[in-house]
Structure 1
């Protein structure tokens, strides 16, 4: 990574229009409250279209019927996607029952979507149901504040159900980080919860009056599992334990996967190691990283505004020194840590606290009642009797955690009766997709709806090649914005156009290496043909235990990306 100081600390020039919008928003209020009363349109107008993102929502429409509605001279069927703030992905069965009921009664699709940001989303909330959605969340102790746009988003935490004490401590820090970095404006409470305006001046001591230059993502990671894909995130706290207790964190900064097709100023980047800190410095260091990015991040070009670009522009050492100065600390050398995998352990696992934890594989994270597989009903039935908690994972799965021995049989029967423990395969468990069509406005190609049948074809190839019991970390994303984390996969498909993808290979199983593009803008038959040939070589030429991605790099099929800023788009 670049360690020099090649560029200015602050990028001068005309600010992007997003900066104007934030400055004029009156601390994220805009005219959202007035817009809610406008029944002439199902959407939000002007700046409010973007401002609602700070409140956890994206305005979308059903792209499957967009052309049909245009023909009928109707506006698109606008509806909101709402994303909950859920640090570490932990929620109670009571909370689950509330979101289940809301999804059934107040959304167009009736589903709950588990995301790889370790939370859940509602899709298809009509405008008149938006305020009730926020109020329902508030009633059960949840909110959607700061789960989108230029703020620190939902804080991830490794879902480790075995090392119970260590996981509990790490999760507490995920919650503390989330709360510490939240916006301080009362706009959310005023607009959605009808709380009275307080006659004081709003202040944002950490985020500032124009918030961050771009979205910001944080994780707490408990080795040896990298299930949160730390290298996809701006700020990462890697837990360091002694005698089973948390003593501090290694800090890694500047990961990110989003790119723009053809824009060579954009690239995916792994996070840089800054050093080790004792627990007492955690919040001060987090604040220093965020405020340094706030002040140094590029506010003239949103496509180069994320932390990864700031580090490359000013140099890692300069950024690190500024964090030390602002936090009043000196980083100690990185403590040893290693990752062995990033998938979830599907099925029952017993924790050291003698409680059982059942990880349920939820394909694509989509919870709905399907023919013969009433997943949504099954989870509701479990929530009605479960005395522990639910943990959403960064792999879009769900853990029924903290099950006592005497309750285990009852929980398992409910899960099996509702198709929640149906037979699956290592390949399917290690495959993931973003939502994409029909609701995502950025989608260029299918992802969630494409993945299940695509996995069938990959499994057929692997079985034919004699490696059917193995797996390849596979990710499909409908556009290059990185939601499906395809750039950290052994095989990653990035949507380019309907039915066409860029094929990336060469990531590894532990998620510590960026995948490089092998072929551009190709169809599914071309992808299958290419993967068949590559898997054939892997099956016959690999070393014992060698993963697909490591194999493709070792034998020279693809070159590893060592310097993303200069090498990501190289052939």
Structure 2
């Protein structure tokens, strides 16, 4: 680190992850040797963590643990891979490749669209891991830096309607992703049989540093008025400012994040701060300066307080901003005005200003699989075989079939209907609901999320109908633990897993995604959650102002107090 003597560096014994990264030989570890160890389906020692920097998490099917233990077998170890896909754009040819791999080499057979605007393979066994990377590489996809203490997959608003601005914003998302990637050749060496660097001491990580970042780092590019990437869930955000249909620069927002730890009040969700406006030519310099400041000042002693949001709270927003200006050699101008009016995806057909048509289809939980009477996976593949444009994955786990010529619309729509990708009876509430993966594969999960969501939404739909507000909806999100992958801490109603069948119930976010909800009830059952919502939805239906959203209603009626400054009032 270049600023070890800075007063902003946290002193103390470094976390063991710092040792791990320092000794990893720029993320190589002994992964290559571990791949040859057929005595276990997993990775040993430090490699368990190091494979994350290569885009993978070691997992096992927790539903099978007890039975396998009875048989004196180790857990069914496998990996989940998350691809790097800046802005979520993928070609039909690439889609067919990932579809085939999921079918043949995933024990679950599915493709999972994620809240990070990319896809995941779940359940890939050790003998197939190297082939997985090589298969993706041949089609132009990798998984470099989609996990670990690095800048992860860069999100971009899925808005193909204003074609020129969207194209320009997406190009910047791709540039930012490339600029902030690790420079180590470890990924190519291990997975792609690339030529080995003679001495890893010759390698330099000019932006991330030899010890990489103190903690994970997330970046977005967002095009108002849609906040579909949830800017306040991310460390660094570039808010697109356009004039006359052309992108001219960005407002820069820094220090958002949703993760927390149950029982630890030094952890909390936090909104990002607006640093100001920059013209386009300074984008990469500012991105690098924010990352390098966090690299040098972030907490490497306590990982629970290592994210950018805690660095800003500790050193002060003005101090952090001034350091970014110094490192980038720029001064932030006053922020340009913008407004978020929503963050959901626009379902159905829309026409872009270029005359191309775009069809957004709802994928519950982002899980693309052939379900009974709803063969989504086959349908996506059949569309990919004839589609002349591209696909765009959204940060809300949905799929856009983009760039469809007018004379292909009927064919694409007929296929989408045939395979259940378009279902007329899907409610607005279901489209406004989201969950993380959670059980059975996530090792951090405390409660169900993806598997609970469909039934929970059905109950919520019944409550809305009971109180005669079935045409309305509530931003509803479920996460299996407090790490924030399902972004429940930006929902009007957010459930955070506490234990089997138990959740903390949070209320009071808003539809625009600019307010953090407050805990209303702690550690309650699914039945207690629905009983609380029954009462509250009843009051909302009777007492709300015209067009007043649920989250705004519970704040106005003092059912919960708004979270104004989460570092100080989130736990009040």
* TM-score with structure 1 setting the length: 0.98
Secondary structure of 2:497's match? strand
* RMSD of aligned Cα (Å): 0.8
For 2:267 and 2:544, locate their aligned partners in 1 and report how far apart those are by CA, in whole Å: 33
Partner of 1:280 in structure 2? 281
**1:109-188 counterparts in 2 under 5 A?**
109-188=108-187
Pairwise CA distance, 1:70 = 1.1
Partner of 1:66 in structure 2? 65
Pairwise CA distance, 1:9 = 0.8
For 2:518 and 2:32, locate their aligned partners in 1 and report how far apart those are by CA, in whole Å: 45
For 1:569 and 1:130, locate their aligned partners in 2 and report how far apart those are by CA, in whole Å: 43
For 1:546 and 1:244, locate their aligned partners in 2 and report how far apart those are by CA, in whole Å: 32
For 1:18 and 1:155, locate their aligned partners in 2 and report how far apart those are by CA, in whole Å: 24
Partner of 1:84 in structure 2? 83
Alpha-carbon displacement from aligned partner over 1:419-462 (angstroms, at most 9, x marks no partner): 11012111000000000000000000000000001000000000
Partner of 2:374 in structure 1? 373
2:499 matches 1:526? no
For 2:557 and 2:383, locate their aligned partners in 1 and report how far apart those are by CA, in whole Å: 48
Pairwise CA distance, 1:565 = 1.0
Alpha-carbon displacement from aligned partner over 1:290-325 (angstroms, at most 9, x marks no partner): 000000000000000000000000000000000000
Pairwise CA distance, 1:198 = 3.1
Partner of 1:264 in structure 2? 265
Partner of 1:16 in structure 2? 15
Partner of 2:495 in structure 1? 493
1:8–1:313 Cα contact (<8 Å) kept: no
Secondary structure of 1:438's match? coil
Pairwise CA distance, 1:528 = 0.4
Structure 1: unaligned runs, 5 residues or longer: 1-6
Partner of 2:323 in structure 1? 322
Pairwise CA distance, 1:97 = 0.2
Partner of 1:4 in structure 2? none
Partner of 1:551 in structure 2? 553
Partner of 2:402 in structure 1? 401
Partner of 1:219 in structure 2? 220
Partner of 1:3 in structure 2? none
Alpha-carbon displacement from aligned partner over 1:394-417 (angstroms, at most 9, x marks no partner): 000000000000011110111111
For 1:99 and 1:32, locate their aligned partners in 2 and report how far apart those are by CA, in whole Å: 24
2:510 matches 1:508? yes
From 430, 433, 436, the equivalent of 1:431 is 433
Alpha-carbon displacement from aligned partner over 1:248-269 (angstroms, at most 9, x marks no partner): 0000000000000010010000
2:231 matches 1:230? yes
Aligned residues: 564
Secondary structure of 2:194's match? coil
Pairwise CA distance, 1:219 = 0.2
Partner of 2:3 in structure 1? none
Partner of 2:48 in structure 1? 49
Secondary structure of 1:65's match? helix
For 1:431 and 1:416, locate their aligned partners in 2 and report how far apart those are by CA, in whole Å: 22
1:8–1:314 Cα contact (<8 Å) kept: no
Secondary structure of 1:40's match? coil
Partner of 2:452 in structure 1? 450
Partner of 2:539 in structure 1? 537
1:500–1:523 Cα contact (<8 Å) kept: yes
Question: Structure 1 segments of 4 or more deviating over 6 A?
Answer: none
Pairwise CA distance, 1:350 = 0.8
Structure 2: unaligned runs, 5 residues or longer: 1-5
1:240–1:249 Cα contact (<8 Å) kept: yes
Pairwise CA distance, 1:8 = 4.7
For 1:486 and 1:288, locate their aligned partners in 2 and report how far apart those are by CA, in whole Å: 30
Partner of 2:207 in structure 1? 206
For 2:511 and 2:70, locate their aligned partners in 1 and report how far apart those are by CA, in whole Å: 47
From 547, 563, 566, the equivalent of 2:565 is 563
* TM-score with structure 2 setting the length: 0.98
Partner of 1:356 in structure 2? 357
Partner of 1:245 in structure 2? 246
1:361–1:397 Cα contact (<8 Å) kept: yes
